[in-house]
A and B are shown apart, each in its own frame.
Chain A
Amino acid sequence: MSLASALKTGDVAELPSRRDEDWRWTDLRGLIRSLPPASPPGDAAALAPGLFNDLTDETVVFLNGRRLSGAGPIVVAAGAPRTVALRFISQAHGTAHHCALRLQLEAGASLALLESYEGAGEGYVADVELDIRLGEGARLHRVALIDEAADAVAVLTAEVELAAHANFAQTALTSGARRQRFETRVKHGAAASARLDGAYLLDGERRGDLTSEVVHDHLGAATHQLTKGCVRGQGRAVFQGRIIVNRGADGTDARMGHHALILSERAEVDAKPELEIYADDVSCSHGNTVGALDEEALFYMAQRGLPDAEARALLTEAFVGEVVDRIEHEGARDVARAWVADRLRARS
């Protein structure tokens, strides 16, 4: 059951519902009573410049689920590191679209994948499926900025398979939507490493869901995960992180942290960190905290002249900044930092 299969079959019974444990906080079945009609093509001439335009060799645009250039999987061969931008733009109003893309990094290849999810319409339903394969020793750095319309439903699912010694690092930053989910499923190869970071900045009635599952089946792989976020207004965040260390995956190093700021009475954070460990010789840890901004620090900042909203934005930015600072790609890191600063000030 998935949004993709519901859109393909037109059957709402295919939508994930709260009866699915992994979807109990992002219940699409209860939300979508009937599936909207398919989105029209959209107007490619009306596109704003992409966030990562200045950083990339190649940009692939999906507009209302339709790919505007090229076809087939994106294949990256070994050689000089490449940077590719993926733009998923929803210009739709009350309609639905779906797209899928396969990405293949051959052994020894290196790619920075800079994704933006751009809501230019309203009330749409958007679904994206990515199938990502990393060959032996390949490196993929993935940054995703998710900025959907407030009343949209948007689901992104990435299946990531790592061959031995592959290195996968991702940072997903989301401002949520009516329902928004960013799901990553990683299968480790031997001695592979994955960094799965995320941050959510939710206000109004926006909801954001960062869900991941990482499976360790082989020796000596590492997973490091840091998710932080803040919720304001009636915003609601979901963090689900599952790390499964199967029998035989000795030498696994897995660390998971989720830390949230709740900045209003009616905001909510639901967190479910899960470590399932069936191997003996592993090093695993997780930490989960929820707090508020330090009132004394806010007064101190006000005493130096900062208006309350600015002081709150600065402290929140610093809190989330730990996630942004871990982005290795310098240009993308700067774009991400500015993106966070804008989101915290635009809608207070």
Chain B
Amino acid sequence: MLSIKDLHVRVGEAEIIKGLTLDLPAGEVHAIMGPNGAGKSTLAYALAGRPGYEVTAGSATYDGADLLAMTPDQRAARGVFLSFQYPLELPGVPGLTFLRTALNAQRKARGEDEIAAPAFLKLARDKAAALKIDFDMLRRPLNVGFSGGEKKRMEIFQMSLFAPRLLVLDETDSGLDIDALRVVADGVNAARAPNVSMLVITHYQRLLDYIRPDRVHVLAAGRIAASGGPELAHELEREGYDKYARVAA
């Protein structure tokens, strides 16, 4: 599904990702854990194609295609979804307008027919109900004035609407209380499927109690410093990132 080889990413003058290699097979959930500054968010942004995140070497192949050659919207149309650590507010753009425009842009890029307004509203209503989102919130400008938890819930709502195939969750647990965390995790777990892969980026092990990963990778100083099963997350929780930080340095 996703194969990253010897990836190097520069932001401004600084190289943040320094030779990262990772294989994410279809249907698997991999956690990326690491200390602050290890390059977790940089990896997420590079996979989504954020301007200013310059790939200087290496490759990322997604479904057999060169992911890095695509524009951000092309990646989205092919099923890449990045759940933002800090979702943006779009003043004056009603959530429903934005989501329908985005969904139709994705469908158009895939050569599918546009979804008509009534069918879209029904889809949005169903998905919102499943995530316990007040439908009136979707009529308001997207994320404007929403709490941190509401914004994260909106991210998961969008995820369920777009039905992506490669999910990158960037610190989705930050700023969530335990109830919101459970709602968000339920939404993510509902999206698990044999053809869906997930990269769950987190600083803390807590999220992984709710979203059980198949593999855990430790990202330190721009590289994968260790990989293992779910038990690795518990080890990190106990012992911290110090030993990886030292090895990397």
Contacts and interface: CB of A to CB of B under 8 A. Distances in A.
A87 B89 CA distance: 40
A303 B76 CA distance: 6
A278 interface: no
Contacts, number: 75
- Interface pairs A-B: 6 shortest CB-CB: A318-B92, A305-B106, A302-B72, A305-B76, A300-B88, A304-B102
B162 interface: yes
Contacts of B73: 302-303, 305-308
B132 interface: no
Contacts of B93: 314-315, 318
A318 B105 contact: no
Contacts of A300: 84, 87-88, 90
Given A300-B84, A300-B88, A314-B93, A305 B98 contact: no
Contacts of A306: 73, 101-102, 105
Interface string B11-22: 000000000000
22 contacts: A294-B88, A299-B50, A300-B84, A302-B49, A302-B71, A302-B72, A303-B50, A303-B75, A305-B73, A305-B105, A305-B106, A306-B101, A306-B105, A307-B71, A310-B105, A314-B98, A314-B101, A315-B90, A315-B93, A317-B92, A318-B92, A319-B92
A205 B117 CA distance: 37
B81 to A, nearest CB: 8
Contacts of A294: 88
B91 interface: yes
B158 A318 contact: no
Contacts of B71: 302, 307-308
A306 B98 CA distance: 9
A295 interface: yes
Contact of B88 (A296, A310, A314, A321): A296
A318 B106 CA distance: 21
Interface of B: 48-51, 71-73, 75-77, 81-82, 84, 87-93, 97-99, 101-103, 105-106, 109, 141, 158, 162
A303 B12 CA distance: 21
Contacts of B90: 297, 300-301, 315, 318
A310 to B, nearest CB: 6
A303 B101 contact: no
A305 B114 CA distance: 14
A317 B93 CA distance: 8
B127 to A, nearest CB: 15
Interface residues on A, range: 20 to 34
A322 interface: yes
Nearest to A294: B88
Contacts of B82: 303
A305 B102 CA distance: 5
A317 B89 CA distance: 15
Interface in A309-341: 310, 314-315, 317-319, 321-322
Interface string A230-270: 00000000000000000000000000000000000000000
Interface hub of B49, B75, B105 (most chain A Cβ within 10 A): B105
B83 to A, nearest CB: 10
Contacts of A301: 90, 98, 102
Nearest to A318: B92
B102 A322 contact: no
Interface hub of A299, A308, A321 (most chain B Cβ within 10 A): A299
Interface hub of B73, B81, B103, B106 (most chain A Cβ within 10 A): B73
A302 B141 CA distance: 17
B110 to A, nearest CB: 10
Given A315-B93, A318-B90, A319-B92, A303 B105 contact: no
A301 to B, nearest CB: 7
A305 B109 contact: yes
Interface hub of B72, B91, B109 (most chain A Cβ within 10 A): B72
A314 B91 CA distance: 11
B75 to A, nearest CB: 8
Contacts of B103: 305
Contacts of A315: 90, 92-93
Given A301-B98, A303-B82, A306-B102, A318 B141 contact: yes
A307 B76 CA distance: 10
A303 B141 contact: no
A318 B141 CA distance: 9
Contacts of B48: 303
